[in-house]
Amino acid sequence: MESKILELIQNLTNINSPSGNAYNAISYVKQKVEHLGYSTQLTNKGALIITVEGEDNERQRCITAHVDTLGAMVKEIKEDGRLTIDLIGGFKYNAIEGEYCQIETDSGETYTGTICLHETSVHVYRENEKIPRDIEHMEVRIDEKTSSKKETEDLGIEVGNFISFDPRTEITSSGFIKSRHLDDKASVAMILDLLERIKNEQIKLPHTIQFYISNNEEIGYGANASISNKIVEFIAFDMGALGEGQSSDEYTVSICAKDASGPYHKELKTHLVNLCKFNHIPYKIDIYPYYTSDASAALKAGADIKHGLFGAGIESSHALERTHIDSIHAAQNLLYAYCLSSIN
């Protein structure tokens, strides 16, 4: 079981899927769940919905996780053939300095490159540590023989092409998973593992669940549409934010009490905590100060739901992320217990 969830995480993180171009990741999940025998629905904006029937079809749940990730777009082709980039998602340029990347053209060609500070060489630029890491100074150095705007354009690269970052996924012997985009591909992997368990063990859920794999969460509107009006509880199965002043860690499941959008539903949060206590699942309750989720996006869109959020604790979110298999197991166990619990 452990090797399977780790394989799923590694497979997903290695699929390029920045917000706006998550088609391949959605296709991967769709193929996996259809192979298990589930029917799927693609929304107009490209999200994937897997509905699992339960005993109660009138009071339903939605559990969402997202395959879209941070990324970038070509903003400008410079006169020396390099690329100015514009960011997709909430992060800063310093989080990707020195990172390997791929540029995908509209015809499907891909080129590799490196995201550099223009003034990188210390043998040429003095005090370059003082130079801002911003759109004016950061660029992509393409791994092709190109030294002019025309030569780069001749490759088929143009403004608006998507740029994806090398995830650099590694699994250590001590149980750590290091990778970009664990937010939120670790959660999607856990949902895939759960769906296989439901099918293999012929589990009958107490309530119908709409598993919603969203493709625009990082830009604020992943799962706020195409939601059944029968849904009364909505869970964002996403990452727990770690750092100074936070109680969450890499070894427990993190339950969100409040984020930048405001408090999460008190009764639903209490239900999640009680499930952890009853099932001896290690957990932490936390507040994420600079964070919003697809659950809060659904509320803003007008959904009449109880909303909650929990997931594995992810260190260094929106950069080179890390979690531990203990946190994955805790999040899996809470997800399973929640799906088998009854709505109050």
CA separation for the pair 138, 144 (Å, rounded): 18
Determine whether the annotation assigns residue 207 to a binding site: no
Residue 115: count of CB within 10 angstroms of its CB: 22
Residues recognised as catalytic: 217
Burial of 332 (0-12, 13-18, 19+ CB in 10 A): buried
166, two tokens: 């090398």
Determine whether the annotation assigns residue 137 to a binding site: no
CA separation for the pair 254, 38 (Å, rounded): 29
Residue 124: count of CB within 10 angstroms of its CB: 8
CA separation for the pair 307, 295 (Å, rounded): 6
7, two tokens: 């394989």
Determine whether the annotation assigns residue 66 to a binding site: yes
Q: Specify the length of the chain in residues.
A: 344
251, two tokens: 């070894």
Determine whether the annotation assigns residue 318 to a binding site: yes
Determine whether the annotation assigns residue 324 to a binding site: no
Residues making up the annotated binding site for Zn(2+) are 66, 183, 218, 238, 318
